[in-house]
Structure 1
Amino acid sequence: MSAETPACQLLQRQDADYRGWLWVAPPRDAWLEQGQGSVVSADHGVLQAWRECGRVAVSPFDDAALEPPGAVLFWPKAHALGEWWLLWLCANLPAGTRLQLVGENQGGIKRVLKVLAALGLGCRKLDSARRCMLFETRLDRVGIDPDAAWTTFEAEGLTLASHPGVFGHGKLDEGTRLLLGELERHLPGPERVREVLDMGCGDGILAAWLARRGHAVTAVDVNGFAVEATRRTLAANGLAGQVLVGDVYSALAGRRFAAIISNPPFHQERSIDYGPAGRLIREAPVHLQPDGELWLVANAFLPYPDLLESAFGGFQIVADDRRFRVYRAVTGAR
C-alpha cells in the first residue's frame, strides 16, 4: 500500500524497521493505519481509525506505559504544540529512545533544529522529499514539565484554560465574542433552564458562559486538548457540565437538545475543510427538540447559507459585521 500524505511518503521510502514504533500525532493515512506499531494522538478521529484496524491507540491523557523501540513525531502547524509533544515524549518515554521528527517545509519543520538545540538534544537530518524533511534525535530527560504549557486568561468574566493547538489559544475569538453578544440578547436566561449543546467546545468559553446562565450544558470536541481545556475551564469557574470527546454527534447516542451552539472549525491544518461543519448543520435537526435552535458563528465568506436552507428550510442572519455572521435556524421552519 502506498502512503497518501507527503510526510508518510517520505517515511515510506526509509529503510528503517518501524515495527513496534510509536506514531505520534500523525495525519490520517491508510499506510500508517494498516501498518505496524501503535499511535498516540489527541485527535479522536485518528484514534478511532486505528482502533477499527485493531491497532493500539491511546490519548496523551491516558495512563499508559509506553516503551517502544522508537517514535515518530509528526510536527504540527502549531509550533508551540510541537514543542509540547516533544516535552511529553521526553517525560513519558525512556531516555535514549530513538525519535524521528517529520513535517512539511511550509509547516515549520526546520524550526525543530532550534527547539532540539535549546533542549540540549542532538539532531541529524535523515532525508528530504515531497517538500518534507526528516530528522532524528534521541530522547532524554529535559527537566521541563509539559503541563507548563497550560495557561489561563480572562474573558467575559470567566477564567479560561488554554493549551497550544486549541482554537483561540490565549485569547477570545472575535467571532465568538459576536456570538455571545447575540446569545445574551436572544437566548433565554436562567429563568428557563434548557439542555444545550456546545459543539466544538475549544477552550470552553461557550460551555462556561451557558452554564453560568443556568443551562444544562454538554460540550463536545474531536480534539482531546480541547476536551481537557473545557473541563479545566468549567472547574476553574465552579461550573457543572458534561464534556465528551467525539466526532461531531458520534458521542451523543441520539440525545436531543433545546439548542446547539457552535463556532465550527473549517480548517484541517492549512487546508479548508467544510466536512465537520457540514455534518454539524445537516444532522442538527435530528439532535434538536421540537422548535430547537441552531446558533452558528462563521466567517462571512463560508458557504453555510445553502446548508442551513437545505437542513432547516430557512434561517436568519442575526448579526453580520462583514467579517463574521451569526446564523440562527429553528426546527420546524419548513
Structure 2
Amino acid sequence: MLSPASQCLMRQTDMLAEGRWLLVNPTDTAIFAELPDTVSGFHQYFDQYQTIAKRQRGRHHFGITLPEDNEKYDGIVLYLPKAKKHTVWMIAYLATQLKQEGLLCLVGENKGGIKSSGKLLEAVGERANKLDSARHCSIFATVVSESKTFELDKFVTKHTVQVPGKAGNIELQLASLPGVFSHGELDAGTQLLLENITTAPDGKILDFACGCGVVGAYLAKLNSSINIQLSDINALALHCSELTMSKTEANFNVVASNGLADVQGSFKAIYTNPPFHTGLETDYTITDKFIRDAKQKLLSGGELWLVANRFLPYAEQLKQSFSNCKVMAQTSKFTLYRCIK
C-alpha cells in the first residue's frame, strides 16, 4: 500500500502526466509503478534509491543534488522533509531545476507540519496554492517564473565543538547541513560515546551511521594514521562527512550503505550512534539488523562501541551476538556498550 502522502499525490495523476516530472525523496517507491515513464525520482536516502533503481534503470538519481547537466523539469514534487531548514534549502535548489513557469509542489502529512510548510514555497514563487487534501495530507504548489542561483555552501554550517573526556579536551571542526542528524550541534548520545574513547586502533575502522562525521573526526584526532570508512544512508550526511574529514589527516572514504550491505572489508573496530527512526516513525529494524551483521564485519578481537537511548531494547540482543559485552557508561538518557568479538 502506498504511503498517505503518495495516496494523496495519486489524486493528481492528470497533472503528473503532462510533461517531464520529478519526485524528490518519496516516502515509498511503489508509486513509480503507478506513474508514466516521464516521471523520475531523485533520492537523498540510499535505501529508497536502491530499491527502485534496480527496477527502473536510468530514471533515478541518488545524491545531494542532481547532475549538473541534468535536463530541467516541467514539474517537481518534494515530499516534506522532517527538518524545516532542510525543506527551505531543497525548495531553493529545486526551483533551479525547473523550466520557466514550472510547477514546484510540496506534499506531506498533517502531523509532519505540511499545513504550515506550504508558505515556504513563496520564497521561489508568487503564491502557494493548496491543490488538494486527502489521507490527512496536503499538496501545495507554486509557479516558478524565474529561479535564483543556488549555492549549497551557503547552507552548510561550519562549527567547532569541544569534547572533554578521558582522552583530554579535544576540539573538532565540523560541517553540517539541515537534514543531517543533530545538525549544528553535538548530541548528548554521541558526546557520551566520544568522552569514553581513549584510543583509536591502527588499521581499518568503521563509523556507522556517520552523520556529519563527528566520530570519525574524533578518532582521527586520537590517531591520525587510522584508515576509516564512514557509512550512512543519507546523501547529505555523506557530503558533510567528506567536508569534516577533509580537515583531518586521516585516510578515509565515505560509502552509501543500507545497513552494512554495501560496506566492504573487515574492521578492528566499529563505532556508532545508530538511528531508530524512519521518517517520523520509530523503527528498530535498522539497528536490529546492524547488531546481527556487525559481528561478521569485525576481525577477531575487534570491538563494537554502540551508544543508544536507554529505552531502546538493545542490551539483550548485543549479549546474544557478543559473549563479551559490557556497559562502559550510562546517563539518565543513554547507555554506552562495548562488545568484543
Alignment of 1:38-117 (within 5 A): 38-55=40-57, 56-58=59-61, 59-63=63-67, 64-117=69-122
2:108 partner SS: strand
Structure 1 Cα separation of the partners of residues 156 and 247 of structure 2: 13
Give 2:113's aligned amino acid. G
Q: Which runs of 5+ in 2 are unaligned?
A: 163-170
1:131 lines up with 2:142 in the alignment = no
Q: Is 2:240 the counterpart of 1:229?
A: yes
1:273 alignment partner in structure 2? 283
User: Alpha-carbon deviation of 1:61?
Assistant: 3.5
Measured against aligned partners, the alpha-carbon deviations of 1:144-185 in whole angstroms (never above 9, x if no partner) come to 53431111111131110010110110000111111111112x
1:165 aligned to which of 179, 190, 207: 179
- Structure with more strand by fraction: 2
Q: 1:147 to 1:66 in 2, by over 3 A?
A: farther
Shift, 1:193, TM fit: 1.4
Q: How many residues align?
A: 323
Shift of 1:314: 4.3
Q: Match of 1:115, as an amino acid?
A: L
Partner-residue secondary structure (3-state), 2:269: strand
Q: Unpaired runs of 5+ in structure 1? A: none
2:153 maps to which of 140, 147, 165: 147
* Counterpart secondary structure, 1:183: coil
Q: Provide the C-alpha distance between the structure 2 equivalents of 1:34 and 1:313, rounded to a whole number of angstroms.
A: 48
**For residues 296 and 110 of structure 1, do their structure 2 counterparts lie closer, same or farther at Cα, with a shift above 3 Å needed?**
same
Aligned-pair identity in percent equals 34
Q: Which residue of 2 aligns with 1:10?
A: 8
Q: If the length of structure 1 is used for normalisation, what is the TM-score?
A: 0.91
C-alpha separation between the residues in 2 aligned to 1:72 and 1:179? 39
User: 1:158–1:237: 8 Å Cα contact kept in structure 2?
Assistant: no
Structure 1, residues 79-115: CA drift from partner, whole Å, max 9, x if none? 1111111111112332321222111111111233332
Q: Aligned Cα RMSD in Å?
A: 1.8
One-letter amino acid matched to 1:220 = S
5 Å matches for 1:231-310? 231-253=242-264, 255-310=265-320
Q: Secondary structure at the match of 2:261?
A: coil
TM-score scaled by length of structure 2: 0.89
CA–CA distance in structure 2, aligned partners of residues 43 and 216 of structure 1: 25
Quote the residue 2:327 is aligned against.
317
Determine the structure 2 residue equivalent to 1:24: 24
Output the CA distance in 2 between the equivalents of 1:14 and 1:124.
14
Contact preservation (8 Å) 1:87, 1:145: no
Whether contact under 8 Å (2:41, 2:60) holds in the other structure is: yes
**Aligned CA distance change for structure 1 residues 258 and 239 (closer, same or farther; 3 Å):** closer
